[in-house]
Amino acid sequence: MSLDKPLVDDVGTEILALAARIFPICRSITGDGVRQTLREVGAHIDLELHEVATGTPVLDWTIPREWNIRDAWIKNARGEKIVDFNRSNLHVMSYSVPVRQRMSLAELKKHIYTLPDQPDLIPYRTSYYAENWAFCMPHRQFEALREETYEVSIDSSLTDGHLTYGEYFHKGETEDEFLLSAHVCHPSLANDNCSGIALLTHLAKRISGLRTRYSYRFLFAPGTIGAITWLARNEDRAHRIKHGLVVSMVGDGGGPTYKKSRRGNAEIDRAMIHSLNHSGLSPVIEDFYPYGYDERQYCSPGFNLPVGLFSRSKFGAIPEYHTSADNLDFIRPEALGESYRLINETIGAIEANATYLNTSPKGEPQLGKRGLYGAIGGDKDAAAANMAMLWILNQSDGTHSLLDIAERAKLPFAVVQRTAKLLSDHGLLKPA
């Protein structure tokens, strides 16, 4: 599943276009914004939508009421809108209850969030499970507010409804599954997570046309409560997930960063780290910890699924995180394309990983008479391929997989895979 650079560049541009299309939508953990986003995803892949009613128990949680918002603003004494939801949906704290009233500056300030250290940015805030309301604005604007009477309006609703998530399933040759998950609950934040939604949409579209060993499940769900809901509804078949990635913040130029699964040495951990180590970049590898995105739900001890987290910059570690600076100017097609390539290479390694037996294990087989030395002559990977032949023949005793060999030989998996096929074609390897 390797990709050449022109295809990677084209895909990066396509991913950015979809990210830009869904960027303006006001998403939360429930509501029409989630449905609208999933309809955009469904224009590219055969996405199945699931609706789970308010009040439904899901593991230790309960599906909350559905939140929708139509408009919101703050007007000064002259009737001028000084904050307008239609200019940025970050201006309203997600899940704000409806309000329409006049108030003093002192009272208004109790319902405003700012970032004093980043005075020109709008923060992103939520209040999912405690009824409240608030606006968010740049701190510089906040400091300029005058002592006068303000009128505030949040035209929202919090009613019994549904939580919505989307799934795309690609059937492979086996029932063993590869899970790829993106959260769809953030409003206009380009990197977190329009980038992840758009990347997985295009990845699913590509995989849909391939014959694969594993089955692939793509999950587009609200953060935390969405993953918990999926696990609650699929507890009897969650054991089929043999590999998994949560994908978020994949459009900026940082990292890349990989956070291991709770298991720490799962095949997805090894394959992802191997791809990153041979990427020519400067990856950051982190051990699992129980905070972050939905990997912590999939890796909870009652499931302990082999699911890691792939991102570029680490969440919470960059100044743009959860602010209005996480806009479409912050993500780039080359970073999106490179993220796509790295995930593809990792999937390709897991798809192709196999264990072989050397059919001539006593001594080193004579490669020259078979035309194998120099069989890849002139190729820039010729030296690596020659060394790969020796490693593969030495290690193929039925106990070492191609990924084992690639890791030990410190060679790119693709070189080991191609060389193993060459040896197999010449009768020197057979499946274990």
List, as one string, the DSSP characters of 206-239: HHTTS--SSEEEEEEE-TTHHHHHHHHHTTTTGG
- 146-185: pLDDT as tens digits: 999 999 999 999 999 999 999 999 999 999 999 999 999 9
- 333-365: pLDDT as tens digits: 999 999 999 999 999 999 999 999 999 999 999
Q: Where in the chain is the domain with CATH 3.40.630.10?
A: 5-64+163-351
| Alpha-carbon distances of 232 from 128, 302, 304, rounded to whole Å | 20, 11, 14
Helices 382-395 and 402-409 cross at an angle (nearest 10°) of 120
Task: Give mean pLDDT in consecutive 10-residue pieces for the chain, a chain of 432 residues.
Answer: 67 97 98 98 98 98 98 97 98 98 98 98 97 98 97 98 98 98 98 98 96 98 98 97 98 97 98 97 97 97 98 96 98 97 97 97 89 62 81 97 97 94 95 94
Query: Can you tell me the distance from the alpha carbon of 226 to that of 52, in angstroms, rounded to the nearest whole number?
Result: 10
- pLDDT given at position 274: 98
Q: Where in the chain is the domain with CATH 3.50.30.90?
A: 67-159
Q: Please give the distance of CA 122 from its chain centroid, rounded to a whole number.
A: 24
Domain 5-64+163-351 is found in CATH 3.30.70.890: no
Q: Where in the chain is the domain with CATH 1.10.10.10?
A: 354-431
The hierarchical CATH code for the domain 67-159 is 3.50.30.90
Query: What CATH class has 354-431?
Result: mainly alpha
- pLDDT given at position 368: 82
- pLDDT given at position 379: 57
φ/ψ bin of 261: left (φ > 0), alpha (ψ from -120 to 50), beta (otherwise): beta
Ordered DSSP codes for 50-82? EEEETT-EETTEE---EEEEEEEEEE-TTS-EE
For residue 167, give the 3-state DSSP assignment.
strand
Per DSSP bridges, beta strands 429-431 and 355-358 are: antiparallel
Q: Report whether 151 contacts 323 (CB < 8 A).
A: no
- pLDDT given at position 7: 74
- pLDDT given at position 4: 59
Helix, strand, coil shares, percent, the chain, to 5: 35, 25, 45
Q: Report whether 95 contacts 62 (CB < 8 A).
A: no
Q: Which of 71, 144, 70 is nearest to 109 (CA)?
A: 144
Query: Can you tell me the distance from the alpha carbon of 341 to that of 338, in angstroms, rounded to the nearest whole number?
Result: 5
